[in-house]
Amino acid sequence: MGFIDEDTIDLGSGNKILILSFNNPESRNSMTREMGLEFKKITEDISQSSDKQKPRSIILTGKNGIFSAGGNFELLKSFSTKDFESNKKTMFEFYNLFLSVRKLDIPVICAANGHAIGAGLSLAFACDIRVFANEGKYQFNFVKLGIHPGMGSSYIVKELFGTHIANRLLFMAEMFNGEEALRIGLCNDSVPQKEVLGRATEIAIALSESAPLALRELKKNTYNNEELTAALKKEAESQARNFISEDFKETIKAIEQKRKPEFKGV
């Protein structure tokens, strides 16, 4: 079973907008290796297609009233039983599956139509333009789980918003809604949940009126993927170290027992 639905909006003259929707209701669209492999296959197919065959833009959204609950719990739990080197390799490979979105040379709009937590929010920020739901809850909860931020968030958030905002979001792990996100400049727009996909579509149509070659060159020159890769390696190493800590074992117990973890710094 696939975890990503594909739909298109026909713009005429052979042009289209591609809509990719995470669809894994059982886990609230949490991010798994299987979903990541499917996502990377889609992005690679787009990258390898001819310029005339590529969509003018992509909208990334979620089904089931949520964007993504972030890292899958069973996947996280499995890391507590593995060694440092294995976890470091796994995390670097895992994050690169989803961050293949940064290698696309066409605009990507995130329509975060519901909650986006942890790695799910990281992926939203890896997109070029973001529309959030007013009612949505957004949070980088990594440190609350006893682990270093991942999915490139330690680099991408600072790249986009500077150290001050990055520290607020990553160190404080504050939860905020779409309206607050818009107020402090984290998204391009925030609308009622039922209007998120429609607003993202309006933006995608507006983008289609610009020259695709110019947009491709702009996308190529906007981001530094070499620095992102270096950051991912540091994140993978830090998370691998966290996964073998007593604090992370306490995280797993606390989630299973539905209580707050009691961290001891070891």
> What CATH number does the domain containing 136 carry?
3.90.226.10
**Of 180, 177, 117, residue with least CA distance to 149:** 117
Chunked mean pLDDT (size 10), the chain, 266 residues: 93 96 95 96 96 96 95 92 96 97 97 97 98 98 97 97 97 97 98 98 97 95 95 98 96 95 95
Residue 149 resides in a domain: yes
What residue numbers bound the domain in which 61 lies? 4-214
Residue 240 resides in a domain: no
Residue 232 resides in a domain: no
Q: What is the pLDDT of residue 11?
A: 96
Residue 219 resides in a domain: no
Number of domains in the chain: 1
**Of 115, 136, 119, residue with least CA distance to 75:** 119
Q: What is the pLDDT of residue 1?
A: 62
Task: Output the DSSP codes for 120-187.
Answer: HHHHHHHSSEEEEETT--EE--GGGGTS---TTHHHHHHHHHHHHHHHHHHTS---B-HHHHHHTTSS
Q: What is the pLDDT of residue 42?
A: 98
pTM beyond 0.75: the answer is yes
Residue 127 resides in a domain: yes
Q: What is the pLDDT of residue 186?
A: 98
**Of 22, 18, 23, residue with least CA distance to 46:** 18
Residue 237 resides in a domain: no
Residue 225 resides in a domain: no
Residue 185 resides in a domain: yes
